[in-house]
Amino acid sequence: MAIAIMCSGGDAPGMNPAIKRFVDYAYLKGNIPYFIYNGLEGMIDDEIKQAYHKDVSGILHRGGAIIGSSRSKRFFEKKYRQKAYENLKKNDINSLIVLGGDGSFRAMDIFSKEFNINFIGIPATIDNDIAFNDYCIGVDTSLNVIRDATDKIRDTASTFKRGFVVEIMGRECGYLCATSAIACGAEICMIPEVNLDLNLAKIKLNKEIKNGRGYVLCLISEGVNKTDFMVDWMSENLGLETRKSVLGYIQRGGNPTITDRLMAFEFIVRAIDSLKIDDTNKVIVYKDGVFDKININNIVSKPYQIKQNILNMLNYID
């Protein structure tokens, strides 16, 4: 059986370990592995090649994805999906593994309904915003990058007695920001999922400043879109000289952690095994410590929700 793998959407640390395990395990199980380079765009443009062990030698420690990725407007036009399907058939490929997020799975949901393609999705996005799933490839590495950066910013904040507003990635999902705020001891956290009571924050933090607190650290999700507002608010309401730091794309790069490497291996094995038994058009998920498969229709129809125990640990929630 010929099986292809591709990455779609934003890159995430752990994609390369997944790609390596894909090639190794596919051959072990008697399959022929193919790479689709540059995501959906590469499928349309026939950037499809058979993969060999030499292609994945020495890539475990590398961030990003050696096969590239993309977002594709063309893929949402039927004529380009038809072209993509013809390219797969030309290579005798009818089984496909996609490393990506919600948008990638929506595209595959459409594609698999139109054509005879067996599809398995693997959550690979630092946003960690896939429904019915607790863990996406790349999340652990990203959290450690944020932790390292935030700890270093706190050093400067405490030295100069300043406020700092640190903007965290995640689009409309505040998981990275919330988890990092808890782990790094941020005094303020702002995410799209909850309301921040600024009056309560002002009263409590001013009391702490009066009693000797010299700095305040605010972690804010990019989806809130209030980074500059919070810089001004902290300066005016807490009396602290305040700076901002937008971590940006460093959160998507770096050497994948042990956890991301091992989880990538596990996701891939389950994906290939599912394709072997035609249990397809599903997404492999990891929920409450157990791997499972969820129908793609359910995945794309329900928004992700941060666990309540994480929200309960945040400061100043209505």
Active site residues: 127
Give the tokens for residue 241. 């000289």
81: amino acid identity, one letter: R
As a whole number of angstroms, the distance between CA 316 and CA 295 comes to 37
As a whole number of angstroms, the distance between CA 61 and CA 83 comes to 35
CB atoms within 10 A of CB 220: 27
| Beta-ladder partners of 262 | none
As a whole number of angstroms, the distance between CA 196 and CA 186 comes to 14
**DSSP count for the chain of H helices, then E strands:** 11, 11
The candidate with the shortest Cα–Cα distance to 173, out of 136, 198, 203, 202, is 136
As a whole number of angstroms, the distance between CA 283 and CA 305 comes to 17
The candidate with the shortest Cα–Cα distance to 104, out of 117, 87, 122, is 122
